[in-house]
């Protein structure tokens, strides 16, 4: 089974994400990558730079930019079981005009028990785990009882 990894970064963290991708590109090969907007274009360039000419066959799905709906597209993919791992380097110091979308994306990742890294250290731990190379299926919590509450 080929893992699908979502890679996202806020503007002030794109450099960190690209450095991380360049350092870990061998671990990302043969994985399906899903990226929002500009992050995806930069990741494609970084991977092409590290691979011999003509050898780039990496599948990279480019979604819309986060503020233009990319975060919501990614959340939908998570809820459909199409994302195995989320690397989202968000900027804790810069207010984002789409903070509600970011919060919704992180909420969906937690609800669907998708391993999520919000910094490079955690991303390193995730892709060096023995589970990264296995057919790991996260245990899902049934939240349907929450829908029946009279609030």
Active-site residue list: 71
β-bridge mates for residue 86, sequence order: 6, 116
Residue labelled with tokens 């903070």: 99
Beta bridge partners of 4: 32
């Amino acid at each position: 089974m080929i893992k699908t990894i979502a890679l996202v970064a806020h503007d002030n963290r794109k450099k960190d994400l690209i450095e991380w991708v360049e350092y870990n590109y061998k671990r990302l090969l043969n994985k399906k990558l899903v990226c929002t907007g500009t992050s995806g274009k930069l990741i494609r360039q970084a991977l092409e730079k590290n691979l011999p000419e003509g050898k780039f066959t990496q599948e990279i799905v480019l979604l819309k930019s986060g503020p233009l709906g990319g975060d919501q597209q990614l959340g939908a993919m998570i809820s459909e079981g199409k994302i195995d791992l989320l690397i989202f380097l968000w900027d804790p110091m810069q207010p984002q005009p789409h903070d509600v979308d970011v919060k919704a994306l992180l909420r969906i990742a937690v609800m669907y028990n998708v391993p999520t890294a919000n910094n490079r250290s955690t991303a390193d731990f995730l892709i060096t785990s023995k589970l990264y190379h296995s057919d790991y299926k996260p245990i899902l919590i049934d939240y349907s009882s929450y829908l029946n509450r009279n609030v």
